[in-house]
């Protein structure tokens, strides 16, 4: 867009020269800013206004500037195109809303306690068979990531797949009203962020906020195996559809069979087709059913959906097999963790065939509040000493799990390390594993088990 159009969208007084300035991208990070960008100086732990000179140096053609900040440009930059706004974050969201209406794609919004990133990837693969598709990058799924996803759309985008995360009431409400989805998807209700909500009932209430901006002729697709969602969906005025493994769902899975690299299943609606997803864990069939439901809504032929699911691109570090430097296979699921997801991955990993041994590395699961000790301790129920050789725990909260494993595993098979002692964990793990072994890594992002993964792959 031309800078003059951006100024108009943000209700900022423009100048004649701005008609000639073309903005090709938007950035709030000078490290990744590309020439031609509009710089958004967000105020957080660091104040983006301090980085405006660096943004100019890196090729920004204009910047926003929050009115409550004094200008600190030097004389050379005094004439740099600057849009003064009340709040830079609000302006980012307002500009995203304007651009969304200008491009006017079909919008699919995806949320859920688990599976939303995988479901987003699957939906994108299916819709790409007939549309120009843009999807959320990595997990840009919050109040900053969602508008950045919108502003990253190419002008020819026909379908936008937006992942939406939340950890407090009101967040999905704001995001849903921003994107005004044509389709909303809720993958499941788990215990993620239960620290802030207290109960699964309240988590379900918060997830339903995704319908608050749903277009009048829009549709909600949700996991019909979850009674909490079935109950709440009755109040939704738009069309609602269910997916799941139980009888009575609009889209129902049958004959689910999985191994360490893939899962195959059939669908009651299309019994003649065999669907295959190349990812560990039969629990991912629920995510595939959500994607198939959306694809069917957009009238994608079943043959194309079969092919798309077989070849979809999974976001990195989500139940991804990689090879370690000793030849061991590593199941990397280090991006995030919560009790529901951890149990599902542990069960799947424990069934993976191997000629060697199985090693499990678990980090703290965050945002569990008063239930943290109990939920960590409960993971002991899915750790079988007949299937898992050694357990390496990293963090403070996993101490409850270590204690609960006493008696189930011998003391030489359970190892507990503080989060800042990863080097010791890595050293001990390296001494234990060999080429025939398999290793699983899972923890909340704040524990940074990706550092362990990186060390094992060097």
Which residues line the annotated binding site for ATP?
A: 112-118
What is d(CA 385, CA 421) in angstroms, rounded to the nearest whole number? 25
Task: Give the annotated binding-site residues.
Answer: 112-118
Q: Among 252, 246, 255, which residue's Cα sits nearest to residue 268? A: 252
What is d(CA 456, CA 308) in angstroms, rounded to the nearest whole number? 32
Collect all residues with Cβ–Cβ distance below 8 Å to 45 and sequence separation of at least 6: none
Judge contact between 433 and 328, C-beta under 8 A. yes
SS (H, E, C) the chain: CEHHHHHHHCCCCCCHHHHHCECCEEECCCCCCCCCEEECCCECCCEHHHHHHHHHHCCCCEEEEECCCCCCCCHHHCCCCEEEECCHHHHHHHHHHHHHHHHCCEEEEEECCCCHHHHHHHHHHHHCCCCCEEECCCCCCCCCHHHHHHHCCCCCCCEEEEECCCCCCCHHHHHHHHHCCCEEEECCCCCCCHHHHCCHHHHHHHHHHHHCCCCCCCEEEEECCCHHHHHHHCCCCCEEEEEECCCCCCEEEEEEEECCCCEEEEECCEEEEEEEECCCCCCHHHHHHHHHHHHHHCCCCHHHHHHHHHCCCCCCCCCEEEECCCCCEEEEECCCCCHHHHHHHHHHHHCCCCCCCEEEEEECCCCCHHHHHHHHHHHHHHCCCCCCCEEEEECCCCHHHHHHCECCECHHHEEEECHHHHHHHHHHHHHHCCCCCEEEEECCHHHCCHHHHHHHHC
What is d(CA 152, CA 161) in angstroms, rounded to the nearest whole number? 12
Collect all residues with Cβ–Cβ distance below 8 Å to 97 and sequence separation of at least 6: 147, 150, 178
Tell me whether strands 358-363 and 329-333 are parallel, antiparallel or unpaired.
Answer: unpaired
What is d(CA 342, CA 430) in angstroms, rounded to the nearest whole number? 23
Judge contact between 252 and 267, C-beta under 8 A. yes
């Amino acid at each position: 867009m031309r800078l003059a159009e951006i100024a108009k969208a943000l209700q900022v007084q423009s100048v004649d020269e701005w008609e000639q300035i073309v903005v090709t991208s938007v950035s709030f990070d000078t490290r990744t800013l590309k020439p031609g960008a509009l710089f958004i100086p967000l105020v957080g732990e660091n104040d983006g206004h301090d980085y405006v000179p660096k943004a100019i140096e890196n090729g920004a053609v204009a910047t926003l500037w929050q009115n409550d900040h004094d200008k600190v440009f030097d004389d050379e930059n005094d004439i740099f195109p600057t849009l003064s706004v009340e709040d830079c974050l609000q302006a980012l969201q307002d500009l995203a809303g304007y651009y969304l209406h200008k491009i006017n794609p079909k919008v699919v919004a995806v949320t859920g306690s688990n599976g939303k990133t995988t479901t987003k990837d699957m939906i994108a693969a299916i819709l790409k068979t007939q549309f120009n598709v843009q999807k959320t990058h990595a997990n840009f799924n919050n109040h900053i990531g969602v508008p950045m996803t919108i502003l990253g759309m190419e002008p020819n985008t026909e379908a936008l797949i937006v992942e939406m995360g939340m950890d407090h009431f009101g967040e999905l409400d704001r995001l849903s009203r921003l994107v005004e989805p044509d389709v909303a998807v809720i993958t499941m209700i788990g215990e993620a962020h239960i620290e802030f909500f207290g109960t699964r009932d309240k988590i379900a209430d918060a997830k339903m906020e995704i319908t608050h901006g749903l277009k009048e002729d829009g549709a909600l697709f949700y996991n019909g195996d979850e009674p909490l969602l079935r109950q709440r969906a009755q109040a939704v005025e738009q069309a609602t559809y269910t997916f799941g493994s139980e009888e009575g769902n609009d889209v129902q899975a049958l004959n689910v069979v999985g191994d360490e690299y893939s899962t195959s299943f059939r669908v009651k609606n299309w019994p003649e087709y065999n669907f295959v997803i190349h990812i560990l864990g039969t629990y991912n069939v629920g995510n595939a059913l959500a994607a198939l439901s959306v694809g069917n809504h957009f009238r994608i032929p079943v043959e194309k959906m079969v092919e798309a699911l077989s070849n979809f691109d999974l976001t990195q570090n989500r139940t991804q097999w990689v090879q370690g430097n000793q030849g061991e296979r590593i199941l990397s699921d280090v991006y995030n963790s919560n009790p529901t997801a951890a149990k599902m991955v542990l069960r799947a990993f424990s069934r993976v065939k191997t000629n060697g041994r199985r090693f499990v590395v678990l980090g703290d699961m965050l945002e569990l509040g008063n239930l943290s000790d109990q939920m960590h301790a409960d993971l002991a129920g899915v750790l079988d000493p007949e299937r898992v050789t050694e357990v390496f725990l990293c963090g403070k909260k996993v101490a409850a799990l270590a204690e609960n494993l006493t008696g189930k595993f011998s003391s030489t098979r359970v190892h507990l390390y503080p989060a800042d002692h990863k080097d010791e964990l890595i050293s001990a793990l390296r001494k234990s594993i060999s080429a025939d072994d398999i290793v699983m890594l899972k923890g909340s992002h704040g524990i940074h088990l990706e550092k362990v993964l990186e060390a094992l792959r060097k």
